[in-house]
Amino acid sequence: MSESAPEQTLRVDAYPTHEVGGYRVRAGKPFPFGANVVPGGVSFSVFSDQATSMTLVIYRRGEPEPMAELEFPQEFRTGSVFAMTVFGLDHENIEYGYRADGPYDPVTGHRFDARQVLSDPYARLIAGRDVWGVEPDRSRGYQYRSRVCLQDFDWGDDTPLGIPAEDLVVYETHVRGFTRHPSSGVTAPGTFAGLREKIPYLKELGINCIELLPVFEFDESDNPRTNPETGEQLFDYWGYNTVSFFAPKAGYAATGRYGMQGDEFRTLIKDLHAAGIEVILDVVFNHTAEGNEQGPTISFKGLDNATYYMLTPEGYYFNFSGTGNTVNCNHPVVRNYVLDCLRHWVADYHIDGFRFDLAAILGRSADGTPLPNPPLLELLAYDPVLRHTKLIAEAWDAGGLYEVGNFPAYGRWAEWNGKYRDTVRSFLKGDPGITGELATRVAGSPDLYSSRGTSASVNFLTAHDGFSLADLVSYNDKHNEANGEGNNDGGNDNASWNCGAEGPTDDPEVNALRLRQMKNALGILFTSQGIPMLLSGDEVARTQQGNNNAYCQDNELSWFDWDQVDQNAELLRFTREMIAFRKHHRELRSTAHPTGQLRDSLGLPDISWHGERAWQPDWSPDSRLLAVARCGTGDDDVVYVAMNSHWEAHDLELPALPGGRTWHLFADTGAEAPYDIRTPGAELELENAGKYLIGPRSVVILVGRTPDAEL
């Protein structure tokens, strides 16, 4: 058999049967939905349950007025699907949309308006916001234009990495923010290509999974506000307002102006995989950019409003998302849409997993009632294509549904563990009476995930939403004035502590304490059972100047300042070594919750709790000190982590070690650099084997091993 590409096979369906509007056409295939290049033309397929007629609108690329409007013949309709193949189209140089005619009766949920040109919900490319931040021409009637593309990217031998969930170290970042700062030094700042140039940094940091804030096409210019202090335009910087679910954001691609954002994003993913880094996408299926009845009609509203959105009996939009509308996720058509979308990202972009924004909404019925067995969540959990992807829920919504620990998991779903964040933050700032819950959280939250294992818990202290780590230890209160909402936006319950001064200070003691507190946070995070997630920039003390809701700030407030890599090298080194330490010690990544069961090989339990006295943890309301020792099966070492949020030092009595093992110091956040942390395997043997003085507000990490052991 020849290895060359075969000559094109002649097909009967490569010939037109009808003529519509001067174009040769034939009935298309209902599936797959969207626009697909077929022999001789392009096949268009779109669903609308209540439309009485459907018209395909075709534009020459970039032209304001259509070059053709082709109404689907009735015989091209199968069920509620309109499908037509149009021959002779240059797929690279057209944009398309639909006009759907039907009833306009908001009370019954229908908002058809044939004057509107609608985006294809299955469009794999969108034109109209090709370059980030360019002021759009709003006089054009059709803003977000569907485009046709080939899906023939050459992946070579790229396959999903399949890193076990318990081994993940997640790094949450923003595609643009990661390299947009002038200090980044990349060829194309703020783009997929720019991020690709920073893969060596990520690899050196030691993370093995990158979680990207939304990359589905959104409109960064849909924020009407300005900064009241400077008058500068504010953006929708984070992008939690999806315009088109199958299309990567063109403005995140250096080649977006050429319509090559798909290939650029795939190339980034391919290279991340080659570096051993998985890619998780933050996805937003709880609402769309169409808002409520006052919002724009982009796609779903005009195609089948009553199908896609949760509506009140009066025809208004339920607002469990806090953004105007709520996607009717458990409607059979809509859940298939979500499934098709995720399959597309896994099959066509090799995405390794998804984090679902306000995922509690995905468990609500059409009237908003939480379902005991939500079909969408079950569908995603068992789908053959998604079978090995990571599924992570933000297990709450803006409607008050809070499901952390109770999210319908089907053995597959992990959760952002908000209780871990809140508990560790409270402990770090010195709140009393937290040690009991702290123990539960660092042990993988068995109270929440007893049947699901530790990897159901994504542990984090900071995320895009809220304070950065540096701000968590620098501000008591949020400072969101620049967002233009009178400091009323953003959360008020931050469990932060400024270490003695609000914001930047020259006080060396305050700055030293802040640095120590950041190390304490990282020390606890990376020795906790569960999946650790690090917010991009926390490793170099990135600040947002106290803004805990920087969703609209496309400027240095949000961007990763690469000069801080050198300026905060001490914290970066600490972070790298902590990540390396976690990789070194399997007992920190155990999928099973510890039970206190004795490890025969060491004569110690898998987990034990200690205080100032070995084996005597202090659970009293005033206690601010807790130490945990872990032993893993098959591991020849013990890891001891002492966490002191008290403002005084404490003498620790260390538990005795069996078999000639001795305690070695890996990290002490109370020590000056470079003695604050060591390289795993090069820990310093303690001179006074049974004792260690832990300083005020410090974390100490010890390894119990034989002095000559080579790890």
Binders in 497-526 for another protein, by CB under 8 A: none
User: CB of residue 172 vs another protein: minimum separation in angstroms?
Assistant: 24
Stretch that binds another protein, among 253-261, 289-297, 485-493, 553-561 (CB under 8 A): 253-261
Q: How far is C-alpha 525 from the chain's CA centre?
A: 18
For another protein, the binding residue among 95, 120, 130, 668 (CB under 8 A) is 130
User: CB of residue 195 vs another protein: minimum separation in angstroms?
Assistant: 11
Stretch that binds another protein, among 128-136, 410-418, 499-507, 574-582 (CB under 8 A): 128-136
Measured CA to CA, the distance from residue 94 to residue 99 in angstroms comes to 17
Contact flags string 258-297 toward another protein, x per CB under 8 A: xxx--xx-xx--x---------------------------
Stretch that binds another protein, among 148-156, 230-238, 385-393, 673-681 (CB under 8 A): 148-156
Measured CA to CA, the distance from residue 550 to residue 465 in angstroms comes to 8
Measured CA to CA, the distance from residue 511 to residue 570 in angstroms comes to 13
- Closer Cβ to another protein, 124 or 599, answer by number: 124
- Closer Cβ to another protein, 145 or 582, answer by number: 145
User: CB of residue 501 vs another protein: minimum separation in angstroms?
Assistant: 45
ω into 32 cis (within 30 of 0): yes
Amino acid at 273: H
- Closer Cβ to another protein, 14 or 260, answer by number: 260
CB 635 within 8 A of CB 583: no
- Closer Cβ to another protein, 90 or 105, answer by number: 90
Measured CA to CA, the distance from residue 175 to residue 536 in angstroms comes to 11
Contact flags string 76-115 toward another protein, x per CB under 8 A: --------------xxxx----------------------
- Closer Cβ to another protein, 347 or 684, answer by number: 347
- Closer Cβ to another protein, 18 or 257, answer by number: 257
Choose the catalytic residue: 120, 219, 352, 357.
357
For another protein, the binding residue among 25, 84, 117, 253 (CB under 8 A) is 253
For another protein, the binding residue among 131, 598, 673, 711 (CB under 8 A) is 131
For another protein, the binding residue among 50, 255, 321, 455 (CB under 8 A) is 255
* Residue 620: other Cβ atoms inside 10 A: 11
Binders in 149-168 for another protein, by CB under 8 A: 149-150, 152-154
Regarding 3 and contact with another protein (CB under 8 A), the answer is yes
- Closer Cβ to another protein, 92 or 566, answer by number: 92
Measured CA to CA, the distance from residue 359 to residue 407 in angstroms comes to 9
CB 666 within 8 A of CB 703: yes
Cα-Cα-Cα-Cα dihedral of 363, 367, 372, 377, to 10°?
Answer: -30
Burial class (CB in 10 A: 0-12, 13-18, 19+), 111: buried
Q: What is the residue-wise DSSP string for 48-108?
A: -SS-SEEEEEEEETT-SS-SEEEEPPGGGEETTEEEEEEES--GGGEEEEEEEE--EEGGG
**CA 554, 556, 558, 562 torsion-angle sign:** positive
For another protein, the binding residue among 11, 61, 225, 387 (CB under 8 A) is 61
Choose the catalytic residue: 220, 263, 394, 554.
394
ω into 674 cis (within 30 of 0): yes
For another protein, the binding residue among 1, 4, 65, 159 (CB under 8 A) is 4
User: CB of residue 131 vs another protein: minimum separation in angstroms?
Assistant: 6
- Closer Cβ to another protein, 264 or 539, answer by number: 264
User: CB of residue 265 vs another protein: minimum separation in angstroms?
Assistant: 9
Contact flags string 180-219 toward another protein, x per CB under 8 A: -------xx--xxx--x-----------------------
**Tokens at 343, concatenated:** 């399959």
Let me know if 357 is a catalytic residue: yes
CB 475 within 8 A of CB 503: yes
CA nearest neighbour of 258 among 61, 35, 44:
61
Question: How many residues appear in the chain?
Answer: 711
User: CB of residue 193 vs another protein: minimum separation in angstroms?
Assistant: 4
User: CB of residue 191 vs another protein: minimum separation in angstroms?
Assistant: 8
* Residue 345: other Cβ atoms inside 10 A: 25
Which helix (DSSP H) or strand (DSSP E) does residue 421 occupy? helix 418-428
User: CB of residue 154 vs another protein: minimum separation in angstroms?
Assistant: 7
Let me know if 348 is a catalytic residue: no
CB 332 within 8 A of CB 47: no
* Residue 678: other Cβ atoms inside 10 A: 19
The three-class DSSP label of residue 294 is coil
Measured CA to CA, the distance from residue 611 to residue 644 in angstroms comes to 10
- Closer Cβ to another protein, 90 or 507, answer by number: 90
Measured CA to CA, the distance from residue 47 to residue 597 in angstroms comes to 57
Binding residues for another protein, total number by CB under 8 A = 35
- Closer Cβ to another protein, 263 or 554, answer by number: 263
Regarding 554 and contact with another protein (CB under 8 A), the answer is no
User: CB of residue 259 vs another protein: minimum separation in angstroms?
Assistant: 6
* Residue 11: other Cβ atoms inside 10 A: 10
User: CB of residue 15 vs another protein: minimum separation in angstroms?
Assistant: 19
Regarding 63 and contact with another protein (CB under 8 A), the answer is no
Would you please indicate which residues are annotated as catalytic (active-site) residues?
357, 394
Q: Which residues bind another protein (CB under 8 A)?
A: 3-5, 61-62, 90-93, 130-131, 134, 149-150, 152-154, 187-188, 191-193, 196, 253-255, 257-260, 263-264, 266-267, 270
